[in-house]
Structure 1
Amino acid sequence: MWNLAKSYVLVLYLHACKGQSCPEIAQWVDSITGFSSEYPTTESWGAVQVIGPPDVFPSYRSSEFAWCPSSDNYDDDEHLQVMFAKPVLLTGVDVYETYHAGFTTRILAFDGQNWVTLWSTSTPYYTAEVRVHSPTLNVTGILTREIRVHGDCRPSGSWIEIDAIQLRGYAPSCGQSCPEIAQWVDSITGFSSEYPTTESWGAVQVIGPPDVFPSYRSSEFAWCPSSDNYDDDEHLQVMFAKPVLLTGVDVYETYHAGFTTRILAFDGQNWVTLWSTSTPYYTAEVRVHSPTLNVTGILTREIRVHGDCRPSGSWIEIDAIQLRGYAPSCGQNCTELAQWVDSISGFSSEYEYARGWAAVQVIGPPDVYPSNDGSELAWCPSDDSYDGDEHLQVVFINNC
Structure 2
Amino acid sequence: MQSASDLISTWFKDDAYTEDDKDAHVIEQFVQNVEDFSSQYGSEISVSYTAFNLRGPPSNFPDYGDYPQAFVMRTYGTWWDEAPSVQKDYVPQNSNTIPSQDFVEVSFERAVYPLEVAVFETYNPGALVRIWALGPMSWILLWEGEPEYAGDTPRIFSPPIRQINFPTRILRLEFNHRLLPYYTELDAVLLRGKEPANLVKMKNNFAYSSLFYKKSQPAVEKGE
Query: TM-score normalised by the shorter chain: which range applies?
Result: 0.5 to 0.7
Work out whether residues 250 and 321 of structure 1, in 8 Å CA contact, stay in contact via their aligned partners in 2.
yes
Aligned residue among 99, 109, 112 for 1:244: 112
Work out whether residues 249 and 321 of structure 1, in 8 Å CA contact, stay in contact via their aligned partners in 2.
yes
Q: Give the corresponding residue for 2:70.
A: 222
Q: Give the corresponding residue for 1:309.
A: 177
Q: Distance in 2 between matches of 1:224 and 1:299?
A: 29
Q: Give the corresponding residue for 1:326.
A: 194
Q: Which residue identity lines up with residue 104 of structure 2 in the other structure?
A: L
Q: Give the corresponding residue for 2:58.
A: 210
Aligned residue among 31, 34, 37 for 1:188: 34
Identify if the C-alpha distance between structure 1 residues 214 and 271 changes in structure 2 by more than 3 Å, giving closer, same or farther. Answer: same
Which protein has the bigger helix share? Answer: 2
Deviation at residue 196 of structure 1 after TM alignment: 3.1
Q: Give the corresponding residue for 1:13.
A: none
Moved more, 257-266 or 278-287: 278-287
Identify if the C-alpha distance between structure 1 residues 230 and 297 changes in structure 2 by more than 3 Å, giving closer, same or farther. Answer: farther
Work out whether residues 266 and 302 of structure 1, in 8 Å CA contact, stay in contact via their aligned partners in 2.
yes
Identity in percent = 29
Q: Distance in 1 between matches of 2:163 and 2:22?
A: 24
Q: Normalising by the residue count of structure 2, what TM-score does the alignment of the two structures yield?
A: 0.65
Deviation at residue 189 of structure 1 after TM alignment: 0.6
Identify if the C-alpha distance between structure 1 residues 325 and 230 changes in structure 2 by more than 3 Å, giving closer, same or farther. Answer: farther
Q: Distance in 2 between matches of 1:290 and 1:230?
A: 27
Q: Distance in 2 between matches of 1:235 and 1:249?
A: 15
Aligned pairs, number? 161
RMSD: 2.4
Query: Aligned to 1:205, what secondary structure does the other structure show?
Result: helix
Work out whether residues 245 and 300 of structure 1, in 8 Å CA contact, stay in contact via their aligned partners in 2.
yes
Deviation at residue 253 of structure 1 after TM alignment: 1.0
Work out whether residues 216 and 286 of structure 1, in 8 Å CA contact, stay in contact via their aligned partners in 2.
yes
Identify if the C-alpha distance between structure 1 residues 179 and 204 changes in structure 2 by more than 3 Å, giving closer, same or farther. Answer: same
Query: Aligned to 1:293, what secondary structure does the other structure show?
Result: coil
Identify if the C-alpha distance between structure 1 residues 177 and 192 changes in structure 2 by more than 3 Å, giving closer, same or farther. Answer: same
Any gaps of 5 or more consecutive residues in structure 1?
1-141, 144-171, 332-400
Deviation at residue 281 of structure 1 after TM alignment: 2.7
Any gaps of 5 or more consecutive residues in structure 2?
1-16, 82-99, 200-224
Matched, 1:285 2:153: yes
Q: Distance in 2 between matches of 1:247 and 1:221?
A: 27
Which protein has the bigger strand share? Answer: 1
Q: Give the corresponding residue for 2:129.
A: 261
Deviation at residue 316 of structure 1 after TM alignment: 1.0
Identify if the C-alpha distance between structure 1 residues 325 and 227 changes in structure 2 by more than 3 Å, giving closer, same or farther. Answer: closer
Q: Distance in 2 between matches of 1:280 and 1:325?
A: 27
Q: Give the corresponding residue for 2:4.
A: none
Query: Aligned to 1:328, what secondary structure does the other structure show?
Result: coil
Q: Which has the larger radius of gyration?
A: 1
Deviation at residue 236 of structure 1 after TM alignment: 1.1
Identify if the C-alpha distance between structure 1 residues 230 and 237 changes in structure 2 by more than 3 Å, giving closer, same or farther. Answer: farther
Query: Aligned to 1:302, what secondary structure does the other structure show?
Result: strand
Q: Distance in 1 between matches of 2:111 and 2:21?
A: 19
Work out whether residues 147 and 179 of structure 2, in 8 Å CA contact, stay in contact via their aligned partners in 1.
no
Q: Which residue identity lines up with residue 225 of structure 1 in the other structure?
A: M
Deviation at residue 259 of structure 1 after TM alignment: 1.3
Deviation digits for residues 277-316 of structure 1, max 9, x if unmatched?
Answer: 1343341111101101123443100001111211113211
Q: Normalising by the residue count of structure 1, what TM-score does the alignment of the two structures yield?
A: 0.38
Deviation at residue 257 of structure 1 after TM alignment: 0.5
Query: Aligned to 1:247, what secondary structure does the other structure show?
Result: strand
Identify if the C-alpha distance between structure 1 residues 230 and 265 changes in structure 2 by more than 3 Å, giving closer, same or farther. Answer: farther
Deviation digits for residues 121-172 of structure 1, max 9, x if unmatched?
Answer: xxxxxxxxxxxxxxxxxxxxx98xxxxxxxxxxxxxxxxxxxxxxxxxxxx5
Q: Distance in 2 between matches of 1:310 and 1:227?
A: 8
Q: Give the corresponding residue for 1:295.
A: 163
